[in-house]
A = this chain, B = another copy of it.
């Protein structure tokens, strides 16, 4: 009731510290990587103690999963902001530019780190699998929805979008140790032209 600044409900306290912990985890994975993202590191970055952390997360794994989910959520939020429900369809250029920008976005390295770690950590892999599936299915759905104006078969759209995403993923990962911005730019350009040609060849007029 009072306007006392420090006064928060339990729900608010809870949500705030959880938010700080997840944000710190994402930042830490970004900056020092998955494996050096220790609980001490997260506590230091978030200003929350270990006691506080373990009140809300039962293990390091739970925290990592929460961070991965948040990153996936932000990807979808970003797309829905670019093309709100019912808005006119995006062009191929716009979609490719968006995909490329999100894949190169700082927070997306969380995905690379976590997916690679999941290969050798069964617990992580099990927990991550449904999240990955959900993200990729959502990406494909958005793509199919956006391009249904073109008369391209749904399966072709799905294959094209996942292939492009994989390509930009690989490009980003290799770029850490062998960066080639000019080649990457040429590739982005070529991808747009290729997909536009594909759309024109298979369906309606190129957009």
From B109, B136, B159, give the contact of A190 (CB < 8 A): B159
Q: How far is the CB of A57 from chain B (nearest CB, A)?
A: 20
Q: Inside 8 A of A44's CB, which chain B residues have their CB?
A: none
From B33, B115, B133, give the contact of A117 (CB < 8 A): B33
A163 at the interface (CB under 8 A from B): yes
Interface residues as binary, A117-161 with B (CB distance below 8 Å gives 1, 0 otherwise): 111110001001100110010000000000000000000001100
A103: nearest chain-B partner, CB-CB: B170
In the assembly, how many copies of this chain are there? 2
Q: Inside 8 A of A171's CB, which chain B residues have their CB?
A: 163, 166, 170
A178-B116 in contact (CB<8A): no
A73 at the interface (CB under 8 A from B): no
A186 at the interface (CB under 8 A from B): yes
A160: nearest chain-B partner, CB-CB: B190
A80-116 contacts to B, CB under 8 A, are: 109, 112-113, 115-116
B159-A115 in contact (CB<8A): no
Q: Chain A: interface residue count, which band?
A: 35 or more
Indicate the member of A133, A168, A170, A176 with the most B CB atoms within 10 Å: A170
A120-B174 in contact (CB<8A): no
A187-B159 in contact (CB<8A): yes
From B116, B120, B174, give the contact of A136 (CB < 8 A): B174
B35-A176 in contact (CB<8A): no
A183 at the interface (CB under 8 A from B): yes
From B117, B118, B176, give the contact of A119 (CB < 8 A): B176
Q: A35-B35, A112-B173 are in contact. List 20 more A-B contacts (CB 8 A).
A: A109-B119, A112-B119, A115-B177, A116-B173, A118-B176, A118-B177, A125-B176, A125-B177, A132-B174, A136-B174, A136-B178, A159-B187, A159-B190, A163-B167, A163-B190, A166-B166, A166-B187, A168-B170, A169-B173, A173-B173
